[in-house]
Structure 1
């Protein structure tokens, strides 16, 4: 949930460029090489492809907090290769929030809207989010990646990349720390039952679990509201197929 798409090591890429064009690197080649270097460094900073590939499922647990509203509850995130995902949030006095994808069917349930099937653009986005190896930043997954240079993001110097997915045509702006190489945040738009919303995600407080660095603090900002995931424990390769089973109330919607 890191280098299948980064097939050519940077050293070999630069050697190939020098052999093919001894005295000249075009304006198009240089930005592409810089993009690949930034993404490769992000993968290596998080532990490298070999470490990530030995993890085929991840169970994360912690807290979900909306500080501005005084809400705090339990958080559980299940993810498994190639593309299964389940988010569970339990808020005392509010109820359970659930969002899942079993590889084919997407669903959501919350105390306000009840259970529902996810369809259309929202389902397309969920499929992309459920890609277990998305943090490998596979170049083949993207139609275009634009390097916008170094900017300030949340008080840190970061490389700014505009990355457009092939499947959805959706562009996300991702920020990678100049100092550490790690992902620091994402600015995007997301399809919801309330329409398209602007979202800023800030990630940090990376900790190492079984050789892989994972952000244990994730702030999601939607307008004036900030929702925070605080990851406390991470286990790899413990999940089963049944941990992603579609709930009975969702199965009822499919039958209807």
Structure 2
């Protein structure tokens, strides 16, 4: 199924040409009148991501080599380890269904079901550390329509169900521009407004603040 998904998204050859990307978008917490901005820069598996939400604050995360870090109003700035670090890493992927071998060891089709007249196949990705994600695909189109996992945080695990919508063509690659995230007690809508594949990315963004390499603010970044 994952091979079919890669074909549906544009084909392995086209996907393999993507060495970097930058996108910006919005996040909205439904029913709370809370809306913020999201930006991410990615290159060769390293990344820098930020969410700025008025009334909540700024959440940032990054990866440079083996160092994965996060900075948010609740937990402060810290280096991530274990499954929490792995989750931040795979979550930075723009095309996880095609790029899964970078982050996981095994993939197994675990279920076939019907939703609103569509045949859906569920594929579980897993790693030796115990990290798991279940991806759901439309069996006819090959495109990913959903994803579920337990988010690991310092306060415990929280189940997430994500729906993928509004696929658009970007340089021959199909990308879901809208994700609806069901966190059980809160629904969040994430919308991509602009995406650039093979963008020029300032790798200085990736470093953890306070480490030997100092993070440069996004205003200094190229590609956005």
TM over 0.5: yes
Q: Could you say if the C-alpha distance between residues 224 and 59 of structure 1 is closer, same or farther in structure 2, counting changes exceeding 3 Å?
A: same
Displacement of 1:171 in angstroms is 2.8
Equivalent residue for 1:136, pick from 76, 94, 98: 98
- CA offset digits 1:147-203 (Å, max 9, x no partner): 23421357743112223224x233322111123111111111121111122111111
How much is the aligned-residue C-alpha RMSD, in angstroms? 2.6
Greater displacement, 126-135 / 154-163: 126-135
Separation in 1, partners of 2:49, 2:103? 24
* 1:57 Cα deviation from its structure 2 partner: 0.6
Gaps of 5+ in 2: 215-224
1:107 equivalent to 2:83? Answer no
Matched, 1:123 2:92: no
- 1:144 offset after TM fit, Å? 4.2
Query: Structure 1 residues 141 and 93, CA, compared in 2 at 3 Å: closer, same or farther?
Result: closer
- In structure 1, stretches of 5+ residues that fail to align are 1-37
SS in 2 for 1:51: helix
Aligned residue pair count? 213
Question: Partner of 2:60 in structure 1?
Answer: 98
TM value normalised by structure 1:
0.73
Which residue does the alignment assign to 1:30? none
Q: Report the structure, 1 or 2, having the larger strand content.
A: 2
Q: Return the match for 1:75 from 38, 44, 53.
A: 38
TM-score scaled to structure 2, two decimals?
Answer: 0.83
| Other-structure match for 2:195 | 234
**Map of 1:21 onto structure 2:** none
More helix, by proportion: 1
